Every structure is written in structure tokens, then in C-alpha cells.
């Protein structure tokens, strides 16, 4: 703590006259000391002000980063939802094409390689759909964390649940 005002303390004690002289000296030193410190108090105040401004700036940066993470999570969630719908349609179309290719293979119209290529497209579409659903879950977890959520079990919740089970 920075003290700019004079300070002194009075204590009760039993002693000779030298104790009174010491007390007067201490009182005088406490009053005069802040006046003759060569600007050290002002430097301490400036340092504390600079630390306060740095803390406020760091807090502002943290808030901006949190807003950015939330905005990115919401935007990515919407884009991933649209992409999932698109990939679901692609999968449906590839499955229909594969069924048609199987029918054409059964009647001898196309060869086995063409049928297997269509099957590979279906598998690729399924993998892409699973990947985008996985990405959606990751985005939701990140959004949950950006909004200040946690994955630690609340001790109060455990106490309440324990009380209701009895």
C-alpha cells in the first residue's frame, strides 16, 4: 500500500524521559518523512496506475477473445449444419446411384468395376457425413467452453442428487 500522508503511532509505555524524546522523534519523523522522499511516492503511484491500466487492458483483451470465440462457434455451427444437410443429400443420391448400378450390373449392362466405384462413393459420402457430425460436436463443446461452461461435476449437485436418492 502506498502511503502519501504522514503517519504516526502513539503507544503507552512506562519509562524514563528518553522514552518521551524517542516518541517525539518518531512523531516528527512520521510527519516529515513523506515530505522528503525524493519523489519515491509519486513514482510508486505512477507504477500502481500503470499496473492497473495493464490489468484493465488484459481484461479487455480477454473479453474480446471470449466474444470472438463465441461468435466463431455460432457461425461455424450454422455452416456445419448447412454442410451436414448437403452431405446427407449427397449420400442419399449416391446410395440411389449405387442401387441403380447394382441393378444394371445384375442385368449385364455395366461391369463390376463401375458398381464398386459407386459403392466407394457411397462409403466416401458416409465418411464425410460422420466427419461433419464429429466436427459439429467439437464446435458445440468449444462453444460451451467459450460461454464459460465446464465439464466438472458440481459438488452441490452431487449433494442434492445424493439427498434425493435416499
pLDDT at position 32 is 54
Among 56, 55, 76, which Cα is nearest to 146's?
A: 76
The answer to whether 73 touches 143, Cβ cutoff 8 Å, is yes
The pLDDT tens digits for 132-143 are: 999 999 999 988
CA angle 24, 27, 30 (to 5 degrees): 150
User: CB neighbours (10 Å) of residue 79?
Assistant: 14
Q: Which residues of the chain have pLDDT under 50?
A: 166
pLDDT at 66: 85
- At residue 21, the 3 state secondary structure works out as helix
Euclidean distance between CA atoms 13 and 20, whole angstroms: 10
Q: What is the pTM of this model?
A: 0.57
Q: Write down all domains in the chain, each with its CATH number in brackets.
A: 17-165 (1.20.1600.10)
| Per-residue model confidence (pLDDT) at position 19 | 57
Helix residue ranges, H only, the chain: 17-32, 40-106, 112-146, 155-165
Amino acid at each position: 500500500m502506498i502511503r502519501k500522508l504522514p503517519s504516526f503511532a502513539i503507544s503507552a509505555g512506562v519509562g524514563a524521559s528518553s522514552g518521551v524524546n524517542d516518541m517525539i522523534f518518531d512523531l516528527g519523523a512520521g510527519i516529515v518523512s513523506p515530505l522528503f522522499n525524493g519523489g519515491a511516492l509519486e513514482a510508486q503511484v505512477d507504477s500502481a496506475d500503470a499496473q492497473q491500466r495493464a490489468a484493465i487492458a488484459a481484461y479487455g483483451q480477454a473479453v474480446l477473445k471470449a466474444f470472438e470465440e463465441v461468435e466463431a462457434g455460432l457461425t461455424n455451427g450454422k455452416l456445419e449444419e448447412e454442410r451436414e444437410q448437403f452431405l446427407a443429400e449427397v449420400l442419399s443420391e449416391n446410395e440411389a446411384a449405387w442401387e441403380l448400378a447394382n441393378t444394371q450390373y445384375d442385368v449385364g449392362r455395366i461391369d463390376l468395376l463401375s458398381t464398386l466405384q459407386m459403392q466407394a462413393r457411397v462409403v466416401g459420402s458416409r465418411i464425410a457425413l460422420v466427419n461433419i457430425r464429429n466436427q459439429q460436436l467439437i464446435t458445440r463443446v468449444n462453444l460451451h467452453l467459450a460461454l464459460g461452461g465446464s465439464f466438472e461435476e458440481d459438488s452441490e449437485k452431487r449433494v442434492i442428487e445424493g439427498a434425493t436418492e435416499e
